Amino acid sequence: MHVVLAGGGTAGHIEPAMALADALRRHDPSIGITALGTEKGLETRLVPERGYQLELIPAVPLPRKPTPELITVPGRLRGTVRAAQEIIERVNADAVVGFGGYVAMPAYLAAKRAGVPIVVHEANARPGLANKIGARYTDFVAVSTPDSKLRDSRYIGIPLRRTIATLDRNATRPEARQYFGLDQRLPTLLVSGGSQGARRLNETITAIAPRLQQYGVQILHAVGPKNELPQVADVPGMPPYRAVPYVDRMDLAYAAADLMLCRAGAMTVAELAAVGLPAAFVPLPIGNGEQRLNAQPMVKAGGGLLVDDAELTPDWVLQNVLPVLTDPQRLWDMSRAAAEFGRRDADDLLVGMVYEAIQAHRGGRRRG
């Protein structure tokens, strides 16, 4: 059996695809897996690092919403669809699984032409254009949130890395805090704006860090590899402030933390819910508002706080984040609420959908 995965461009598309690839291989080590991508996407690094075959196709940017520009897409897509179809037929694909983004649209169209069954996974609460179209061609649509707008979809969550999906935060905390040079006893705030960092979060936490330390809070701050590290000196008797360019071991960062200050990308929200780590979400203020929608279910469940980017100030952190960090009972309650919302088995559930789609296709039941 051979499965083609279409989830290039950003880590939010690539990581679920790689988590599915790992799960497929756990179920059947002999399965063939090919990932589609473009030369400009993060997949050129992330996919080979995970040991999977990557095939590149031309990138065709898609408008976020239906606009007059949309009518030019078919013409620009023709060559890309042909390239994707050649790959699908060359590897003799049994299924194409798409995760949205630039790569997914041509993959869906190519799979439809080649008569190969399609599975769609949508990570965001507000689906993108590629997945809206892909969902028309299949009965097998998986979503990350129970109130998704994609019709006839199944709520499974987001496929996660096994190091995250199987993480026991309490058991791993001593190792994690030692790894980052943190105190074993102090409340810990983890700050990260994603793989590239976030200026608003960085500036806010740098400004308020001394006050948080005075209240007994230690900080692990991933500023982003392209951002300047704050110059912070350890003061005897004060809680640590660990500023790093990037965190490779997010499982240990989650285990070390009691609360996270972060953006609200779909993958971040899913990981935090799965491991039961409460968060103060600061949705990215650009795009179509999907980050706010991503965070809302976990916030409504009691597992997080939500603040607009423009309203994130040092005073807001003092008034809203500090009281949580210094209240063990509230931290425990929020952690439990986040964990109840989380899904750890989405990778295995999506594997089941892939097999189901292939069997339905072989039995003659397919859409489109």
What is the reported pLDDT for 125? 87
CB proximity list for 88: less than 8 A, separation 6 or greater: 4, 96, 107, 110, 111, 114, 116
> Domains of the chain by range and CATH?
2-160+344-366 (3.40.50.2000), 163-341 (3.40.50.2000)
pLDDT confidence tier of residue 62, bands split at 50, 70 and 90: low
Whether residue 189 has pLDDT greater than 80: yes
What is the reported pLDDT for 103? 92
Residues annotated within the binding site are 10-12, 124, 161, 195, 291
Residue indicated by tokens 């013409």: 75
The pTM of this model reads 0.89
Quick one: residue 287, left, alpha or beta (phi over 0 = left, psi -120 to 50 = alpha)?
A: left
3-state secondary structure of 360: helix
Residue 235 is which amino acid?
A: V
Could you read off the pLDDT of 70-105 as tens digits, one per residue? 555 666 688 899 999 999 999 999 999 999 988 999
322-328 contacts, C-beta under 8 A, 24 or more apart = 322/212, 322/215, 322/217, 324/259, 324/278, 324/280, 325/187, 325/189, 325/212, 325/217, 325/258, 325/259, 326/187, 326/215, 326/216, 326/217
What is the reported pLDDT for 73? 61
Residues annotated within the binding site for UDP-N-acetyl-alpha-D-glucosamine are 10-12, 124, 161, 195, 291
Residue 154 is which amino acid?
A: R
Please report, rounded to a whole number, the percentage of residues in the chain having pLDDT higher than 90: 73
